[in-house]
Amino acid sequence: MQQEIIAIKDRMIDAIISKDVDASIQVFARESVMYLLNPPLRFKTSENAPGAPGIKEWFDTFEGPIQLSYQELEVTASDQVAFCHSLDHLKGMRTDGTYTNMWYRETLGFQKIDGQWKVAHQHQSFPMYMDGSGKAASDLKPW
């Protein structure tokens, strides 16, 4: 089971690196919830999730290739539900001339639906500086 979850995480990473919109959404359950790094606070597939057009729009903000990897992946799984968490590293040149280079936390919740593992919950976050600034600590590194 753990290998199946790792394979899905790897497919998600590969889909983003190759900017493959269809592959990016195939891993998700029909009804899923996402807490991503960008507003709003919550996306739900049946309500306000960006779907394929939103993913393509995000891919198009990168001038060239997107670099994405993860470290410290841990998986917990039972017969019907599983989750994994990792530290993910996103890098790439943006169309506005800026360079993105950030680490963030990601947790994925999986549900076995019709015999296949699907992502039913995605949560990405940054720690927050506790100095009163309210700034996300997107400049941290895991070492």
> pLDDT, tens digit, for every residue of 49-92?
778 888 999 999 999 999 999 999 999 999 999 999 999 999 99
Q: State phi, psi for 9 to the nearest 5 degrees.
A: -55, -45
**What is the C-alpha separation between 115 and 139, in angstroms, rounded?**
40
The neighbour count for residue 128, using CB atoms within 10 Å, is 11
The pTM score is 0.92
Beta-strand pair 43-44/67-77? unpaired
Q: In the chain, what are the domains? A: 2-125 (3.10.450.50)
**What is the C-alpha separation between 85 and 94, in angstroms, rounded?**
27
Query: Contact, 118 vs 27, CB < 8 A?
Result: yes
